[in-house]
Amino acid sequence: MKSVQLLEVQQRIVTTPVKNFPLPLERFLITAQGKYKQLNPVCPHCDSRDVVDNGSYCCEAQLARQLGLEVKHGHYLCTRCRKSFSTPFNGVQTFLQNVKTYLEEISFDLFMQGMSFGGIGNHLSDYFNMAVDAETVRRYYIEHAQECRNRKVPHCSGFFGVDCQHLKVNGQAAVRLSVIDVVTTKNIVDVRILAETNEEIVDRLRLFLLPYDVRGFVIDGKRGLRTALQEEYDVPVQLCLFHVQKLIIEDYRRKYGKKLSLLQTRNMYMELTILQNHDVEVQFLNRQLKTLDEFSRNMWCQKQELREKSLAAEERRLLSEFYGFRSSLQRCRRKNSPYLLTRTQEEMRQKLEEARLFLTEKHEKKRLDMLEKNGEALTTFLRVKQLPPTNNITEHYYAETLTKTDKKRFRSLSAISHRIAAARARWNSWMSPSVTLTDLMLQFAWLFQLFGKPH
């Protein structure tokens, strides 16, 4: 009778090679019914071997059931201390954690590419043949964003671009402060602040830049910020040239509207060329003005109204020629970045004096005085080679991570915090997957061979 029972047990038990176990392989079995058990169990409470089988319990993870895995963990009872224990299969827990990590990372990446939570859930449900709803995807995204928020940039150059982006939360204003390493282009700080005041910005920089050796800043033209940074850190601060050029363009548009005349366009470029070499545009516009003057002198017309219409049409034609020339020039400059050269401090002073001879409007004089007053701050990059002349790196960061359309769609401040963390992770290339789909498929094939539900 005993031999018959032994034969029956040998037929029922299937020994399966399983890798990476903390204990020797021969001590574990997987039965034909999918029960994972120990061959010679020892009570973990009293180290007794007086142990008897006490059934099993199934893995309750919903993901395992959805994937068709029925894992039974062996359950035992110690006859000495009357305590029970089980033998969990660690490989299943590792696989389930890897699946969750993969779903978090893919949800995070797809949402940053513009897909909605519902769309991501449908995509994952179809791809993995299991139910993934929008709320689950949202939870995955938030968990991964929180992990990214705690990551630090280990190395930096000490030269930082500082800028703020204005957001909207249900129509209410919010401000995002970002600090980019202008040499390594890594994001150092990306946080939401109460208001864009110099005191608030310096307070946050004092806290977040404490681990770093601060050597210089690039900022926009915010009033008083350069003085506040120099008082706090005593380092060189470069004013962004493009921000100043933007102010010049806004001066003319505020004064004359979007459609500038040929003379107004030439005057605007005479201001722009003080900071960067736009002499080609100025020379082209001067030729167009000369052509318009010759057309006016040579045109004979008795009716004043007809004469004005003809002059306006000729001016529009000459402006159209300039816009075409400027477009081709911009394409050339994009291919040859050194073509648009910055000025030295002496060249800026010389161009400033030339501009004063032609520019006599009140707003023009005011802007020229500002350029003269901030000449040293606008040319800091000439003396500190690591500082760029513009804050373009920070502007590119904003353009890549939060567009003008998206930045007005937030419903809560926590949503901004999660999106900022995600944007920073994506910019710093922290989104490389830790678990690949190939790894998951190999693990699943191995587990299904062991614990797949019989059909």
pLDDT band at 21 (very low <50, low <70, confident <90, very high): very low
Q: Taking the CB of residue 16, how many other CB atoms lie within 10 A of it?
A: 12
Q: Which residues of 19-50 are buried (b: 16+ CB within 10 A; e: fewer)?
A: eeeeeeeeebbbbeebbbbbeebbbeeeeeee
Tell me which of 120-129, 171-180, 280-289 is least confident.
120-129
pLDDT of residue 140: 83
Residue 24 pLDDT grade (very low, low, confident, very high; cuts 50, 70, 90): very low
Domain assignment present for 418: yes
Claim to verify: residue 129 and residue 222 sit in the same structural domain: no
Query: Can you give the pLDDT at residue 335?
Result: 67
Same domain membership, residue 137 and residue 174: no
pLDDT per residue as tens digits for the range 226-269: 999 999 999 999 999 999 999 999 999 999 998 999 999 999 99
166 and 291 share one domain? no
On whether the CB atoms of residues 379 and 275 are closer than 8 A, the answer is no
267 plus 359 within the same structural domain: yes
- Residues 344-388 have pLDDT tens digits of 889 999 999 999 999 999 999 999 999 999 989 999 999 998 999
Backbone angles phi, psi at 310, to 5 degrees: -65, -45
Is 174 part of a structural domain of the chain?
yes
Residues 355 and 250 in one domain: yes
User: Do 38 and 62 lie in a common domain?
Assistant: yes
251 and 377 both lie in a single domain: yes
Q: What is the pTM (predicted TM-score) of this model?
A: 0.66
* CATH number of the domain encompassing residue 225: 3.30.420.10
pLDDT band at 4 (very low <50, low <70, confident <90, very high): very low
Which pLDDT does position 316 carry in this prediction?
A: 93
- Among the candidates 88, 112, 127, a domain finishes at 88
- Residue 11 pLDDT more than 80? no
Per the prediction, the chain carries an average pLDDT of 82
* 106 plus 138 within the same structural domain: yes
* Domain assignment present for 357: yes
Containing structural domain, residue 435: 93-150+431-443
- Pair 282, 373 in one domain: yes
Work out the angle at residue 188's Cα, subtended by the Cα atoms of residues 154 and 183, and round it to the nearest 5 degrees: 80
Euclidean distance between CA atoms 183 and 394, whole angstroms: 12
254-258, 328-332, 425-429 — most confident range = 254-258
Structure tokens at 212: 């770093």
Statement to judge: residues 81 and 203 lie in one domain: no
* Number of domains the chain is built from: 4
Q: Check whether residue 187 and residue 286 sit in a common domain.
A: no
pLDDT score at 320: 95
Asked if residue 101 and residue 44 are part of one domain, the reply reads no
pLDDT digits (tens, 9 = 90+) for 49-97: 888 888 777 776 777 777 777 777 787 888 888 888 877 777 777 888 8
